[in-house]
Amino acid sequence: MGTLARTLVGEDADELIELLNKALADEWLAYYQYWIGAKVAAGPMRGAVTAELEEHATEELEHALMLVERILQLGGTPLLSPSAWYDMTNCGYETPEDPYVGVLLEQNIEGEQCAIEVYKELMDFTEAIDRVTYEMALTIMTDEIEHEEDLQALQEDMELMKQRQ
């Protein structure tokens, strides 16, 4: 634990750790949703969609790492078991039962929009009390915004392809 790091945050440290653990649950579920989605994806532009899903999976894992490091600095305990992911998640998990690329994109866009809200709330919570976590949340939210746009661009390309056929 970073004793001074925790002291700087003050009385809200435990509540902040809880928010960070909830975001950690989201990141792991998002990671798996992307990772398994990339394996099962089928339909037009499969290669482009799969590449984007795999890239995002890697980036969600990086977000999980950032969250764990901050939780530890604040003297918290990161979620230790996958069973906690479902209990703690804000954004849930969309099972890719239908592997069609259009459905996967739709499910993952929903996840990204939820993630953007989660980090926006984390920024609001930390802005006045913890600039370090605030900057981290901003960095992650910037990635989530990029993720949303990447997936929507693929959706647009599919739509254009349909119109031109």
Residues 103-162 that bind Mg ion (CB under 5 A): 150
Instruction: State both tokens at 77.
Output: 């305990």
Which residue, 13 or 30, has its beta carbon nearer to Mg ion? 30
CB of 119 to Fe ion, least distance (A): 8
Distance CA 45, CA 88 (A): 34
- Kindly state the number of chain residues that form the binding site for Fe ion, as judged by CB under 5 A: 5
Among 33, 50, 52, 63, binds Fe ion (CB under 5 A): 63
CA angle 25, 120, 68 (to 5 degrees): 35
Percentages (nearest 5) of helix, strand, coil residues in the chain:
80, 0, 20
Answer for which of 137, 144, 150, 151 binds Fe ion (CB under 5 A) is 144
Least CB distance to Mg ion at residue 157 (A) = 14
